[in-house]
Chain A
Amino acid sequence: MKKCQKCSKPATVHITEIEKHTPNEIHLCETHAQQYLSPGEEQPAQNTAVSILAQYLSTGTVELEQREIKSCPMCDMTFSDFRDQQRLGCPHDYEVFQEELHPLLETIHSETTHCGKVPKRAPGASQRRVQIIKLRNDLKRAIAEENFEDAANLRDQIHNLEQPLPE
């Protein structure tokens, strides 16, 4: 188990910073991770909503274990990944991590429900598209495992789903 880079406690938070295209891995304990992720003095012009996000993610202590385990079936992202990157992996994450995202959205926007413009097309189309993401991931895996028969099947399925819906 890696040690925290700032003290001798075990590191439970692993952060990858990318500076000028070079990734830099940082391993910290919970306490030092909180300190690290809190917005510092040197960035006064930073978008406040984004720094609120960083602060929120760094101080959340609720059910860490649960978050570690649940992952999005479409893009394999865990809430822990989201905490590290501060970006979600795919649209389906909003469905998977609905509960966890609620308080976060409340903190950032003071609201949790959209009440603006809505796309004119059938919402059912979105669900179908989500299926396609899953199939694409399966396809990637099949190709990586040189499982070409499965890959061909998956490709056909994707192609069928992508046909435009009859209006």
Chain B
Amino acid sequence: MRLQELTKTSGEWLRGTGPDSDIVISSRIRLARNLAQFPFGNRADKHEQQEIEELLCQYFQKLKGKWKFHYFNVEELDNLDRQLLVERQLISRELADSEGVRGVAFVRKENISVMVNEEDHLRIQAIQSGFSLEKVWKEIERLDDAIEEHVDYAFHQNFGYLTACPTNVGTGIRVSVMMHLPALVITNQMEKVFRALSKINLAVRGVYGEGSQPMGDFYQISNQLTLGKSEQEIIRNLQAVVPNIIDYERQAREALVKESRQELHDKVSRAHGILKTAHTISSEETMHLLSSIRMGFNLGLLDDLEINTINELFIHTQPAHLQKIRGSSLDSAERNAERAKFLRKHLRAVEKPNGDH
């Protein structure tokens, strides 16, 4: 499979189905694992990195029956391809920007991926759309067990799964849920959410955006602590908290509809209008407007759109995707024009034929 092919579809986790998918985009679990017989990432030399990569690729092949992995050597990819993988959440920013022999294996559906030679030798990830942590855990546990049949994981009876950074030791698990919270943002309640969550050791961070400014009203909620609790407990903690946030968001949306329906409808329609007709548009503005129409769609204020189309637009309007789809590299101004063109094309394509265009 060539990376170019990825641009024709979106990862299954963007389908917009699954429980509570109006507010919860996706549920994700990541496990950090290391091979017992090699030093950790930062200490391994080039030969060791190559050995680790070779070994793991062999094992991925052995799993052919259950998981058909495609492996990409990230060191050999150009910047654009790396960026593409980051945008699809298949690799981390860190793997893209670091040096040394490293790569990623993933299945065509993109709901399972394994990074090789990031901070730890293996970073296994499973992701599903909607609020579905149980399903994700079952999937990733199966894979972890399957890999472990061929590999000796670094493990200590007191400290658990051993990782390069002690902040990940023990279960090596990061459980996260990506949520769309535009109403809480509009009603200035995100501070409250941050504070409440940090009291129970959950981290919240914006998903899109450079630096500290979150864009698009997307937030990722995840556990911070990995030692001394079982994987089930950590998952249950999130399962207990997320429904409350979902409720807050739904209540905030209802309140907005009740108290300022006309303003809201106007805001959403204008957003739709700009996206359909602009000739040049920045990433930032796109995120902002897409967030509005996504909420508008969920509230029934816009009906000539599909939810998975909206979800996909978040990904396909990002820099590397635009350039891969177009087939050439583009500078900032060209990207803004290409983005607008892409949006016009895709937002008009789903319009019901009712006369004026």
Chain A positions within 8 Å of B, measured between CB atoms, are: 21, 43-45, 47-50, 52-53, 74-75, 77, 85-91, 94-95, 98, 101, 104-105, 108-121, 123, 125-126, 129-130, 132-133, 136, 140, 162
1/0 per residue B19-52: CB within 8 Å of A? Answer: 0000000000000001111111111010010000
B125 within 8 A of A: no
Within 8 A of A (CB), among B221-239: 224-232
Q: Is the CB of A117 within 8 A of B42?
A: no
In the complex, the number of residue pairs spanning A and B with C-beta atoms less than 8 Å apart equals 151
Residues from chain B with Cβ under 8 Å of A117 in the complex? 141, 144, 161, 171, 230-231
Closest to A130 in B: B36
A60 to B356, CA, bound (A): 70
B205 close to A (CB within 8 Å): yes
Q: A21 — which chain B residues lie within 8 A by C-beta?
A: 99
B278 to chain A, nearest CB (A): 30
- The complex places the Cα of A118 from the Cα of B149 at a distance, in Å, of 13
Contact indicator A47/B203 (Cβ below 8 Å): yes
Measured between beta carbons, the chain A residues less than 8 angstroms from B228 are 109-115
Chain A proximity mask over B36-75: 1 for CB below 8 Å, otherwise 0: 1111111101001000000000000000000000000000
Bound Cα distance from A90 to B226, whole angstroms: 19
User: Are A109 and B231 within 8 A (Cβ)?
Assistant: no
Contact of A87 among B161, B162, B165 (CB under 8 A): B165
B38, B119, B169, B171: the one contacting A105 at CB < 8 Å is B169
Note all chain B residues with C-beta closer than 8 A to A119: 148, 153, 155, 161
- Whether A86 lies near B162 (C-beta < 8 A) is no
Chain B residue at minimal CB-CB distance from A42: B212
B window 125-145: CB within 8 A of A: 141, 144-145
Asked whether A45 lies within 8 Å of B148 as measured between CB atoms, the reply is no
Which of B42, B157, B167 touches A89 (beta carbons < 8 Å)? Answer: B42
Which residues on A sit within 8 Å (CB–CB) of B167?
47, 49-50, 52-53, 108
| B227 close to A111 (CB less than 8 A) | yes
Residues of B close to A126: CB separation below 8 A: 36, 152-156
List residues 99-115 of chain B with CB under 8 A from any CB of chain A.
Answer: 99
Q: Name the prevailing secondary structure of the A interface residues.
A: loop
B299: Cβ under 8 A from any A Cβ: no
Is B216 part of the contact surface with A, judged by Cβ < 8 Å? no
Contacts of B157 in A (CB 8 A): 114, 123
Please judge, given known A-B contacts A109-B227, A130-B36, whether A90 and B43 are in contact too, CB under 8 Å. Answer: yes
CA distance A126 to B42 in the complex (A): 20
The 3 closest A-B pairs by CB, nearest first: A111-B228, A114-B160, A129-B36
Residues of A within 8 A of B38 (CB): 90, 133
B18 contacts A by Cβ under 8 Å: no
CB contact under 8 A between A129 and B169, given known A91-B36, A109-B227: no
List of B residues within 8 angstroms of A86 by Cβ: 165
Residues of A within 8 A of B39 (CB): 74-75, 89-90, 133
Q: Is the CB of B212 within 8 A of A130?
A: no
- Which of B152, B166, B170, B230 makes the CB contact (< 8 A) with A121? B152
Cα of A123 to Cα of B158 in the assembled complex, Å: 12
Residues facing A in B147-200 (CB within 8 A) are 148-149, 152-162, 164-167, 169-171, 173, 198
